C-alpha cells in the first residue's frame, strides 16, 4: 500500500542552524502539507502546497520557514535559523485532491539544542 | 477561528467496559476525522465522517457525527488493552487545513 515517507526520522541540531526535513508524498497525490506536534500537545497545521505554491499557511509558518518541491517526488520543509521552540515532531501529509483524506508520514523528530 | 475541543483529555478504563470520547467544534465544516496515535508514532486514520447523522464502525470503535450540534463521538465497546492510545479528532477548515483537538489519552487496564 502506498505511503508517505519522511527522512530523517530524528534530527538533532544547534540553535541557529538551518535544517531541511524531507518527505516523499504518495505518488499520485497533488496536495501536500506539513504539520507539527510539540511533545504532548496537539497537532498543528503549518502549511499546504499545491501546484508548486503555498495555498494556505498558519501564523506559525513565519519567514524562517519555507517549503519546496525540488523535483517530482520530494517535498521539503526548511527552517532557516532554528530556535529551541522549534523542537517538535514534524509530520508531512499528502492528499489526492483538495477535499480528499490526508495521509500522514511517520514524522521527523526535530530536537534543537 | 475554528476551535476543536475533546473531552475527556485523559481516560483510564477497565477492559470490557464501554466509554465515549466527545469532540465539539465551533464552526461548520465539511468533514471530520478520527485518528489514533501510539506513543512516538504517526497518525493512523480511523474514520472520515462526511454528513450529518453519519455513523461508522470498525471493530470495537464506532464514530458518529451530528453537524447541527457540531459534535462527534467515538464510542468504545468492550475495551481491550490494544486500544490504549491517544485519539484525536480533526475538523477540516476550508478545503485543506485540518484543525485538531487536544487528543484523548486512553489507557485500558486489564
Residue B51 has pLDDT above 90, yes or no: no
Mean local confidence (pLDDT), B70-75:
96
pLDDT of residue A47: 97
CB neighbourhood size of A58 (10 A): 17
pLDDT in tens, A35-67: 999 988 889 999 999 999 999 999 999 999 999
Residue B90 has pLDDT above 80, yes or no: yes
- How far apart are the two ends of chain A, measured CA to CA in Å? 37
Mean local confidence (pLDDT), B66-91:
95
Question: Which residues does B91 contact at the CB level (< 8 Å), separation at least 6?
Answer: B2, B4, B25, B29, B31, B32, B33, B98, B99
Residue B88 has pLDDT above 80, yes or no: yes
Assess A45–B contact: CB distance below 8 Å, yes or no: yes
List CB contacts (< 8 A) between B25 and chain A.
none
Residue B104 has pLDDT above 90, yes or no: yes
pLDDT of residue A14: 97
pLDDT of residue A24: 97
Residue B40 has pLDDT above 90, yes or no: no
List CB contacts (< 8 A) between B48 and chain A.
101
Of all residues in chain A, the one with the smallest CA distance to B49 is A101
- Scored b (16 or more CB within 10 A) or e, A6-18 reads beeeebebeeeee
B53: confidence class by pLDDT, cuts 50, 70, 90: confident
pLDDT of residue B1: 85
A31-37 and A43-50 beta bridge pairing: antiparallel
pLDDT of residue B59: 95
The reply to whether residue B42 touches residue A56, judged by beta carbons under 8 angstroms, is no
Mean local confidence (pLDDT), B30-51:
91
Q: How far is A40 from chain B (nearest CA, A)?
A: 9
Assess A103–B contact: CB distance below 8 Å, yes or no: yes
The reply to whether residue B100 touches residue A43, judged by beta carbons under 8 angstroms, is yes
Of all residues in chain B, the one with the smallest CA distance to A90 is B42
The reply to whether residue A44 touches residue B100, judged by beta carbons under 8 angstroms, is yes
- How far apart are the two ends of chain B, measured CA to CA in Å? 41
Distances (CA, A) of A44 to A16, A17, A89, B98: 23, 23, 10, 8
The reply to whether residue A45 touches residue B99, judged by beta carbons under 8 angstroms, is yes
Q: What is the Cα–Cα distance from A86 to A104, expressed in whole angstroms?
A: 20
pLDDT of residue B8: 96
Q: Of all residues in chain A, what percent carry a pLDDT higher than 70?
A: 100
Q: Could you say which residues of chain A have pLDDT below 50? A: none
Which residue from B43, B96, B100 is facing A56, i.e. has the nearest CB?
A: B96
Amino acid at each position: 500500500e502506498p505511503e508517505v515517507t519522511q527522512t530523517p526520522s530524528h534530527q538533532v541540531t544547534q540553535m541557529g542552524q538551518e535544517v531541511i526535513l524531507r518527505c516523499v508524498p504518495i505518488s499520485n497525490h497533488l496536495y501536500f502539507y506539513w504539520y507539527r506536534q510539540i511533545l504532548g500537545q496537539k497537532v498543528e497545521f503549518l502549511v499546504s502546497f499545491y501546484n508548486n505554491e503555498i495555498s494556505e499557511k498558519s501564523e506559525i509558518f513565519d519567514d524562517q520557514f519555507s517549503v519546496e518541491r525540488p523535483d517530482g517526488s520530494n517535498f521539503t520543509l526548511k527552517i532557516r535559523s532554528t530556535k529551541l521552540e522549534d523542537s517538535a515532531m514534524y509530520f508531512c501529509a499528502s492528499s489526492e485532491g483538495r477535499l480528499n483524506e490526508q495521509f500522514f508520514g511517520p514524522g521527523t523528530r526535530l530536537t534543537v539544542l | 477561528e475554528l476551535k476543536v475541543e475533546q473531552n475527556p483529555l485523559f481516560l483510564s478504563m477497565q477492559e470490557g467496559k464501554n466509554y465515549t470520547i466527545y469532540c465539539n467544534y465551533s464552526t461548520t465544516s465539511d468533514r471530520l476525522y478520527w485518528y489514533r496515535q501510539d506513543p512516538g508514532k504517526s497518525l493512523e486514520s480511523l474514520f472520515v465522517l462526511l454528513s450529518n447523522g453519519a455513523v461508522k464502525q470498525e471493530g470495537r470503535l464506532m464514530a458518529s457525527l451530528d453537524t447541527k450540534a457540531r459534535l462527534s463521538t467515538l464510542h468504545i465497546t468492550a475495551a481491550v488493552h490494544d486500544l490504549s492510545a491517544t485519539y484525536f479528532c480533526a475538523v477540516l477548515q476550508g478545503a485543506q487545513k485540518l484543525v485538531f483537538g487536544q487528543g484523548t489519552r486512553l489507557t485500558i487496564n486489564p
